[in-house]
Chain A
Amino acid sequence: MTNLQTKKEPGSVKDIKSARFAAMTGNNAIAEAMRQINPDVVAAYPITPQTEAVEEFADFVANGKVKTEYVAVESEHSSMSACIGASAAGARTITTTSSAGFALMWEMLPIASGLRTPIVMYVANRAFSAPLNIHCSHDDTMGGRDTGWIQLYSENAQEGYDNMIQAIRIAEDQSVRLPVMVCLDGFIISHSVERVDLLDDETVRKFIGENKPPYHLLNVAKPITIGACALQDYYTEHKRQHSEALINSKDKILQVADEFAKISGRKYGLFESYKLDDAEYGLVIINSAAGVAKMVVDDLRGKGVKAGLLKPRVYRPFPGKEIRDALKHLKAIAVMDRVDAFGAGRTPTFTEVASAMYGLEKQPLMINYVYGLGGRDIRLEDINNVYEKLMDIAKKGKVDKVFDYLTVRE
């Protein structure tokens, strides 16, 4: 790896023994996290824009930097199948994908979660065709939000790196045992070089610890069956058990975040609350666009406008109650998604947030935007327009149009 520096940073990481940083793309950062995790098995298939990450990891394997068994599969359906088998056999398992690759895995996604195999998957978010597009929408993982996986979203390469390392701990915890997706924006983050603060290998190794599966296929002393059929008599109980596990994983995710803060100086929660405490106008927005929006919030605050922002990190389990508590005092909220839920007339995150607000005596006014599809640039002025709209709505005391596309030629 290039450009590794050893440097003490003033302030935030002063307690850390040996803070290092590097110039990396999002894909580089994920591959580096994978190298440090040193999983037992990686079965992955390259697809734009995730390709660099698996290529780089394959290099690590070829050059003996990791002890991983790399399974070169012929498709994503096979990569996820191989990962399920490996994970069921007790191996620490990672895969990566995007868009159409994610779609081809689809059949296996609920199987991975239903079998409670703690696979970690990096997804560089990319639009679905048609029309053909290789750039960022959240079609893939938003479509897959109900496949029973834990979902962590990442604003930038740093968060992608940090989430990958935490994902291993979360997935493999005895109280969780669920697969985790780590999502970041294709191209915008996956291909952009920025500064990433890194942990040293030993710290990562200690933090993730050992995978201790309660059951696994290679244990001849205790033979088990995995994936038997369960019909009307048992299927419901299995789903209820899964549902409960996913909801309960929230506490563990927070506990892992606290421990991660101790080794990194970087604090994560269920979501990032940016200048929300005294805010009147707020956005709910995930991944890289939240970064752009934060800059707008800073600008508006400088002008005396009480703007704030909520950036979900943990999308499954969805922290509805916590989000409601963080947003309920606002006058007006815009929920923005880089995906449409065709025919719903509302986007996925709007539906989640509105559902979380249900039952409040006094609800903030809410609007919903689709933005940035297929990598369309979302600019400071676009976000600024949304805040202006919120101020206008709050002034009038009513919403004229709940759902709209932002920056579209009508």
Chain B
Amino acid sequence: MKKQMTRKEMPLGTVIDSPGCSREYKTGGWRNLIPVRNAEKCTNCLICWIYCPEGCIKVKDGKITEIDLDYCKGCGICAEECPVKGKAITMVEEKKEN
């Protein structure tokens, strides 16, 4: 776990003095369900890329390469919005290892 700052170490007045600090906070641990993508069914329409609130759908050259599980909260919007008949993304229970 990251060491927490003392009041003397903190910048003044609630300021966060470096940009993009949300990257340090991995929200993948919040997940119950995990999105599983069937690459054969997927048409790469990128509707999931548009809807994912965390920007976890990684795309290269117009094709989905992976779902970033460091930040995916398992909300299931990608699966809900997937227009492919029979769904190219499905949410399944995640088996967490300790």
Contacts and interface: CB of A to CB of B under 8 A. Distances in A.
Interface of A: 114-117, 177, 214-215, 222-228, 230, 233-234, 237-238, 240-242, 244-245
Chain B contact residues (Cβ within 8 angstroms of A): what range?
10 to 19
A237 B16 contact: no
B12 A215 contact: yes
Nearest to B17: A224
Interface stretch (B2-10, B28-36, B53-61): B2-10
Nearest to A236: B7
Given A237-B7, A240-B7, A244-B7, A224 B15 contact: yes
B14 A226 contact: yes
B13 A177 contact: yes
B2 to A, nearest CB: 11
B7 A225 contact: no
Contacts of B16: 224-226, 228
Given A116-B14, A224-B15, A240-B7, 20 more contacts: A114-B13, A115-B14, A116-B13, A177-B13, A214-B12, A215-B12, A222-B17, A223-B19, A224-B16, A224-B18, A225-B15, A225-B21, A228-B16, A233-B4, A234-B4, A237-B10, A238-B10, A241-B10, A242-B13, A245-B12
Contacts of B86: none
Give the interface SS of chain B, mostly helix, strand, loop or mixed: loop
Contacts of A215: 11-12, 15, 17
Contacts of B14: 114-116, 226-228, 230, 238
Contacts of A226: 13-16
A214 B14 CA distance: 13
Contacts of A224: 15-19
Contacts of A244: 7
A395 B68 CA distance: 82
A227 B21 CA distance: 14
A75 B19 CA distance: 33
A116 B12 CA distance: 7
A227 B14 CA distance: 6
A237 B21 CA distance: 19
Contacts of A242: 13
